[in-house]
């Protein structure tokens, strides 16, 4: 899976100069707060995204991108014992983006697509209470990759012909649990 992700990123970067020549295309960067939905304030790290989009019809774009939802973790000590937990999620996505103009240079949009989500969770601990059973510690590291739907909505403001700003909410259904992976982000776009 790592080779696949590296290949996708490398292929995207190498094809960017060719794609940049296409009128109606854009690159956008976003930074915002993610929500893993299962750990209160501790599970809301800062994440980022990078996307390339191209206009396929009036007010309809096709967008491909990478989202890093950030890493969150917590550690606790109980006398001689300690435990730490961390999570991280990343996704490659492809989505259609439908714009609805509401004023000059301002539009709202909806996003619908699919994402390959890679989720990694780690638990490590030194549980000295279990010394009688000769258990030195507890360690678990799991990583899963799933195909999941992507839903999003946002507000886009076109500052000039090349530069735009956006405020966006993105929701990715979370693999195997009732928890949901989502994020709010603000960002900038450059239009070719």
- The CATH number of residue 155's host domain is 2.40.160.20
DSSP E strands, the chain: 25-35, 46-57, 60-78, 81-103, 106-126, 138-158, 163-173, 180-191
Residue 79 counted as domain residue: no
Number of structural domains in the chain: 1
Helical segments of the chain, H only:
2-20
Of the two residues 163 and 123, the one the predictor is more confident about is: 163
- pLDDT of residue 130 exceeding 50, the answer is no
Domain annotation covers residue 14 = yes
Three-state secondary-structure class, residue 20? helix
In a domain, 137, yes or no: no
In-domain check, residue 135:
no
Q: What is the pTM of this model?
A: 0.76
Mean pLDDT value of segment 1-26: 63
Q: Is residue 105 part of a domain?
A: yes
Percentage, residues of the chain above pLDDT 70: 69
107: containing domain: 2-74+89-122+147-191
């Amino acid at each position: 899976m790592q080779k696949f992700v590296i290949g996708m990123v490398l292929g995207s970067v190498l094809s960017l100069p060719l794609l940049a020549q296409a009128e109606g295309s854009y690159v956008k960067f976003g930074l915002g707060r993610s929500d893993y939905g299962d750990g209160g304030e501790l599970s809301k790290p800062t994440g980022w995204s990078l996307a390339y989009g191209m206009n396929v019809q009036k007010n309809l774009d096709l967008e491909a991108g990478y989202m890093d939802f950030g890493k969150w973790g917590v550690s606790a000590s109980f006398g001689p014992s300690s435990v730490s937990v961390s999570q991280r999620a990343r996704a490659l996505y492809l989505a259609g983006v439908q714009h609805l103009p509401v004023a000059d240079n301002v539009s709202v949009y909806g996003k619908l697509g699919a994402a390959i989500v890679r989720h990694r969770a780690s638990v490590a601990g030194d549980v000295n209470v279990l010394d009688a059973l000769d258990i030195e510690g507890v360690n678990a590291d799991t990583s899963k990759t799933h195909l999941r739907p992507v839903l999003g909505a946002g507000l886009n403001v076109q500052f000039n012909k090349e530069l735009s700003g956006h405020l966006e909410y993105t929701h990715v259904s979370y693999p195997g649990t009732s928890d949901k992976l989502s994020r709010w982000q603000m960002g900038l776009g450059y239009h070719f």
